[in-house]
Structure 1
Amino acid sequence: MLRNLFSSLLPDGSFSFSSYFRIKGRRSLYLYCVITGIVSGLGAFLFSRALAWAEYISLESIAGLQETHSGGEYYVSLQPMSSLLLGRWALLFLPVIGGLITGWIVWKFSPDSSGTGTDSLIDSFHNKEGKVDPKVPIIKSIATVFTLSSGGSGGKEGPISLIGAGFGSLVANLTKAGARARRTLLLAGTAGGLGAIFHAPLGGALTSVEMVYREDIESDSLVPCIISSVTAFLIYSSLNGFGAVYKVPEIGFEAYKELVFYLILGIVCYLSGAFLIRSFQFMQDWSKTWAFPIWLKPAIGGIPVGIIGYFLPEVIGTGAGFLQNILEGTYQFENTIGSFFQAIGLAKNIEADHIQFFANDLSVHVDVFIVLCFLLFALLKIMTTSFTIGTGGSAGMFGPSLFIGGMLGGAVGTLAKLILGYKVSIASFVLVGMGAFYAGIASAPIAGMVMICEIIGSYYLLPPLMIVSITTFVLSHKLHLYKSQKGTRFQSPAHYWDMNRDLLEEIRISDIADKLRNIAVIRSSSLLSSLEEDSIKINASDYIVLDPEGKYFGMLSLRNIRLHSEGRALTKNLVLVGDVADVSIRPISTSTSLANAFKTLLENSMDKIPVEDQGNYLGYLRYADIIAIYFERTRTSRPVSS
């Protein structure tokens, strides 16, 4: 102990905090994961309390909404303040006011705090050595409280994850830790926040290590994430109470023939996930073209959210209370159409008994109506979420994905009940849809399955969850909700040095000249529209561009070209490949090592790199070729055991 203390003294006799408390190995890293978990649990507790009180004042007291929380969440157990009651029409302006406040806070103090928060975490892990601005978690939390409590559609996992991740990054900075330890603490903080708020210690850990890749997991950080997540869960639960987030009735499936409908649910989740991602990304791109100040855009996005919420308030906010009612089977769908007619002024004092399609013996028609209601709720939730977060609002996407998946599960479950002719567990389909939908859009099948089981406090639904989640994941392999995700660890700068660099340094491009290709090559004088049509045939997105003399000209990535449909018609026969090619990317020579070629590919975010020899273009080398060569040489150079 004394030796460590004296070794922490600087030459001038002063004390070095970072030297004494630095991370010296796995055991000290685990200790800091425990500390990170404690802070994550406390942060989740404070955030959940702040959000609950804000929703009590705005949604419950002002707008008159009820049951805005799930059965296991904290809620303000007071009667709404009647002096503040304005009624349902307050929903027309509450999302606008919330968006205005959120937009100003984010614009004024931290522009990085807008959006989901998860994408910025993933980007920080891959490209910023796990560094997070300390003010981002605070600003993100405040902005999200205003967004959700005013009726904006989103989830609360974004700021909670950032609280833990920001503290983990801060610990790494204070202890002068390296990039690897900082990335681990970043994920550990994320796991702590998720494990606490969703009462899911294992699910939070798996989500944090799985969300950074599309086809891989950050296995090195799994144990630290489990330590942090369990610690945060214990801290949060000791203050908030133990138990599952959602209270559910008896669940399960009665017969194997129900599995057919679970498979159908997987397909439906895939199709709906694709629609959500396209809608969300379209709104992000479209809002960037608006000729309004940045701080005003979330308020503009709040206008359609308020209009939709006025007619169907079930699809605004977190939607946790509505999901709870669906799981318990207490939601009266017959009231939905009556409430809608009353809102638009076409009917007054409609009773539920009068809505059941005017006849008690038309139960089949009632089930069809319920299926349509479920699908309508899912569609409108996609719209309100896209308008809320896509325009710059601050909230997470995990919460809306649970809602949308639950609605799709409810629709398919009701359809199964209608066709099979016996009482199918609708709650089971709802829960499976919740897990499968997130597994597809976030490329996190394991995390989606485990998270749902822990949210409800039961693993009884694990078999259908596995079937539907894997089905959705396989179908959704081209869907990317988080743009910063990498395919595998070999595509991440975080693991660039994990490969045997000496082996890559020994191999020159001239040694593997037979691997060079010339398929995705185009002349600069070709029309861009023709290239886009031909690209489908070879399934390529990155092209080598040559000038009319066959010399290297530049690179072209179709992924980075965004032309609006109306503009495309006008420029179809005008834009040449050479007009949009990137001439800043320089080719490599035959004397370049595979290590430098690999580094160049990562720096330019391309899947191929051109090769020249004394100014003459030879071909290109793909990222996949380097990986294949590396593993081939690794196998052949491995010593044979005696």
Structure 2
Amino acid sequence: MFGKVLAEFRQRPVSTYFTIKGRRSLYLYCVLTGIVSGLGALLFSRTLAWAEYISLESISGLHNTHSGGEYYVSLEPIVSIYLGRWALLILPILGGLISGWIIWKFSPDSAGTGTDSLIDSFHNKEGKVDPKIPLIKSIATIFTLSSGGSGGKEGPISLIGAGFGSLVANLTKAGARARRTLLLAGTAGGLGAIFHAPLGGALTSVEMVYREDIESDTLVPCIISSVTAFLVYSSFNGFGSVYKVPEIGFIEYKELGFYLFLGILCYLNGAFLIKVFQFVQEWSKSWKFPTWLKPALGGIPVGIIGYFLPEVLGTGAGVLQDVLEGSFQFPNYSSYLNQDLQIIFFFLLLAFLKIITTSFTIGSGGSAGMFGPSLFIGGMLGGALGTFAKLVLGYQVPVASFVLVGMGAFYAGIASAPIAGMVMICEIIGSYSLLPPLMIVSIITFVLSHKLNLYKSQKNTRFQSPAHDWDMNRDLLEGIRIEDIKFRLRNIAEVKTSVLLSQLEEEALKINASDYIVLEENGNYFGMISLRTSRLFLEGRDLTQNLILVKDVTDTSILPISARTNLATAFKTLLDMGMDKIPVEENGKYLGYLRYADIISIYFEKTRSAKPVSSS
């Protein structure tokens, strides 16, 4: 018995043991994808922290670059390389030049946010990602952000996991559906790790591919990957929240009106961000300069703005942390103006200039994400409205609550991801106390922003995605019965019960078939046999080739379907059986078999032609 098993093991290629055969094996690969995503996020975040320590902190003297829960280099700045604040004029240009050359030289697809390319890969490329894109984008983004370019770090981090998920699918020869699932699982892993948000990362990945829908089929795999990546990443960086916040909450119903207006404010500024960003994208295409030079040119206005207001450079996470803690030092422009009014103006100014610097950094061809800037812009808008509410209501309104709600609502609007925006904010602060106002404001912003489109590759619903053509047109197959297409039935891959298995194996080579319909001597249906699982072993073949009949290894549990069955049901039955053909009977008489390939062919004939499929 052991020898028989060993012989079978030797006959099977090693690669067959690593194929994705069902949900359980897919979940196992999601765990592996999560591990790689977590380690990739760890390596990226620490490399970026050291790069920011050298350039922004040591060279230019900019210190508030990280949130309270992020990894940072806890060393004194290197005095010997200190140049002063004027270096901020040069650093974004230099960083844009380096990142632009890297992208141009090694991977032009690595430019931009990264999220849009992921969405496009899901819908139009069967989840395929060039393995070099995550590496090149990570390196380019590190140069962009550490030099003061305005953007987020989620783009390359999510690409690391997505790229590995796609690579796993390719190595295991998985189908397009499994590859798309692993793509989103990798994305979820990267987001869940870097933002300490396992649920938020999973929800973001399944929600970002559509404007009015979610990829619900991949939610469980995304949760598995995201939780795994979070555990791996946090085991090195700690399990605390990304942002340290004071006591927050919703105090009185008087504040509700201001929260409602915050939703409108986020929508208006979200529309402005998208218009400016897309304008810079199109404008930069007309620049008569080499492609690799354009991000450096985009760094010129970024450097000028950053020299006067360095708060709008980089990810902005450190500024948000100071604002949330109440330790941010606001400028005092005039002793004659109310301090709260000056703070409101400063918040709005930071939001406006962050839109400009982000648009020039990424729109000119640089590499960075949009999630980080969206949190900053929304936070500044929330801070402005929270300060205004405090001024009008006359008591200490928790401004930090408005900041956090603005962060979630702004992203919900521009990315069409209201659920992800809510949950992500709750997880990055480690509290769900703000969930009610977050829900209200995020939904208002989302509803108002239904015509906005930051990610051009997003589809409205799954019914518009090539990834779900079968879901969209299932009703076409339901309207066709097998009896209407009898001429499609075949009688080639059939065998009688009395035939030797060895003889069938030889005949199968001639027609390149693996699954056979087994018939009794009188032509009645008996069962099915798959030569993928029922074969003679090489060892002892001489002894068994004249002993084993087809009848001995036939699976009689596979029942034929009626000719009145529609093609949608037949297709699902085929998938459940794991066979490439299915037997058909009419009034107890065997007619022939219908192949998997025949159903696909009929499907495309039906979708490409207005004429109904008929038997004529």
Do Structure 1 and Structure 2 share a fold, with TM-score over 0.5?
Answer: yes
1:389 corresponds to which residue?
362
Equivalent of residue 194 in structure 2, options 193, 197, 218: 197
**Residues 1:95 and 2:92 are matched in the alignment:** yes
- TM-score, reference length from structure 1: 0.74
1:448 corresponds to which residue?
421
What residue identity is the alignment partner of 2:99?
Answer: T
Identity of aligned residues (%): 80
Equivalent of residue 52 in structure 1, options 38, 46, 49: 49
Q: How much has 1:2 moved relative to structure 2?
A: 9.5
Q: How much has 1:495 moved relative to structure 2?
A: 0.5
Equivalent of residue 471 in structure 2, options 498, 506, 525: 498
Describe how 1:137-536 pairs up with structure 2 within 5 A. 137-334=134-331, 337=333, 357-358=334-335, 365-499=338-472, 501=474, 503=476, 506=479
Q: How much has 1:17 moved relative to structure 2?
A: 3.9
SS of alignment partner, residue 151 of structure 2: coil
- Change in CA separation of 1:3 and 1:374 when aligned onto 2, cut-off 3 Å: farther
Cα deviation code 1:268-316 (max 9, x no counterpart) = 0000000000111111111011111000000000000000000000001
- Change in CA separation of 1:599 and 1:391 when aligned onto 2, cut-off 3 Å: farther
Distance 1:385 1:89 in 2: 20
Cα deviation code 1:481-538 (max 9, x no counterpart) = 000000100100000022454735858xxxxxxxxxxxxxxxxxxxxxxxxxxxxxxx
What residue identity is the alignment partner of 1:370?
Answer: I
Cα contact 2:464–2:472 (8 A) shared by 1: no
- Change in CA separation of 1:16 and 1:411 when aligned onto 2, cut-off 3 Å: same
What residue identity is the alignment partner of 1:72?
Answer: G
Cα contact 1:216–1:488 (8 A) shared by 2: yes
Cα contact 2:141–2:156 (8 A) shared by 1: yes
Cα deviation code 1:573-615 (max 9, x no counterpart) = xxxxxxxxxxxxxxxxxxx999657569xxxxxxxxxx9x9xx
What residue identity is the alignment partner of 1:245?
Answer: V
Q: How much has 1:67 moved relative to structure 2?
A: 1.8
Cα deviation code 1:335-372 (max 9, x no counterpart) = 5x5xxxxxxxxxxxxxxxxxxx326xx6xx21111111
Give structure 1 stretches of 5+ with no counterpart: 338-356, 508-591, 601-610, 614-642
Equivalent of residue 132 in structure 2, options 132, 135, 158: 135
Cα contact 1:41–1:233 (8 A) shared by 2: yes
What residue identity is the alignment partner of 2:38?
Answer: G
- Change in CA separation of 1:309 and 1:456 when aligned onto 2, cut-off 3 Å: same
Cα contact 2:44–2:157 (8 A) shared by 1: yes
**Residues 1:77 and 2:54 are matched in the alignment:** no
Cα contact 2:67–2:321 (8 A) shared by 1: yes
- TM-score, reference length from structure 2: 0.77
SS of alignment partner, residue 127 of structure 2: coil
SS of alignment partner, residue 248 of structure 2: coil
Give structure 2 stretches of 5+ with no counterpart: 481-600, 612-616
SS of alignment partner, residue 247 of structure 1: coil
What residue identity is the alignment partner of 2:357?
Answer: T
Cα contact 2:114–2:369 (8 A) shared by 1: yes
SS of alignment partner, residue 253 of structure 2: coil
1:117 corresponds to which residue?
114
What residue identity is the alignment partner of 2:335?
Answer: F
Cα contact 1:505–1:594 (8 A) shared by 2: no
- Change in CA separation of 1:67 and 1:485 when aligned onto 2, cut-off 3 Å: same
SS of alignment partner, residue 220 of structure 1: helix
What residue identity is the alignment partner of 1:227?
Answer: I
2:524 corresponds to which residue?
none
Number of residue equivalences: 491
- Change in CA separation of 1:431 and 1:5 when aligned onto 2, cut-off 3 Å: farther
Distance 2:275 2:472 in 1: 35
Cα contact 1:438–1:444 (8 A) shared by 2: yes
- Change in CA separation of 1:121 and 1:7 when aligned onto 2, cut-off 3 Å: farther
Distance 2:349 2:128 in 1: 41
Distance 1:501 1:386 in 2: 42
- Change in CA separation of 1:373 and 1:597 when aligned onto 2, cut-off 3 Å: farther
2:59 corresponds to which residue?
62
Q: How much has 1:402 moved relative to structure 2?
A: 0.1
- Change in CA separation of 1:410 and 1:449 when aligned onto 2, cut-off 3 Å: same
Cα contact 1:17–1:175 (8 A) shared by 2: no
Distance 1:40 1:410 in 2: 33
What residue identity is the alignment partner of 1:402?
Answer: L
- Change in CA separation of 1:471 and 1:383 when aligned onto 2, cut-off 3 Å: same
Distance 2:354 2:202 in 1: 27
Q: Which has the larger radius of gyration?
A: 2
Cα deviation code 1:462-490 (max 9, x no counterpart) = 00000000000000000010000001001
SS of alignment partner, residue 291 of structure 1: coil
Equivalent of residue 40 in structure 1, options 37, 41, 50: 37
What residue identity is the alignment partner of 1:199?
Answer: H
Distance 2:6 2:43 in 1: 36
Cα contact 1:409–1:432 (8 A) shared by 2: yes
Q: How much has 1:20 moved relative to structure 2?
A: 1.4
- Change in CA separation of 1:423 and 1:147 when aligned onto 2, cut-off 3 Å: same
What residue identity is the alignment partner of 1:34?
Answer: V
Cα contact 1:504–1:595 (8 A) shared by 2: no
Distance 2:415 2:149 in 1: 21
Distance 2:605 2:342 in 1: 61
Cα deviation code 1:111-133 (max 9, x no counterpart) = 01000000000000000000000
What residue identity is the alignment partner of 1:83?
Answer: S
**Residues 1:28 and 2:1 are matched in the alignment:** no
Distance 2:329 2:26 in 1: 51
Distance 2:148 2:189 in 1: 27
Q: How much has 1:257 moved relative to structure 2?
A: 1.3
- Change in CA separation of 1:303 and 1:17 when aligned onto 2, cut-off 3 Å: farther
Distance 1:455 1:169 in 2: 27
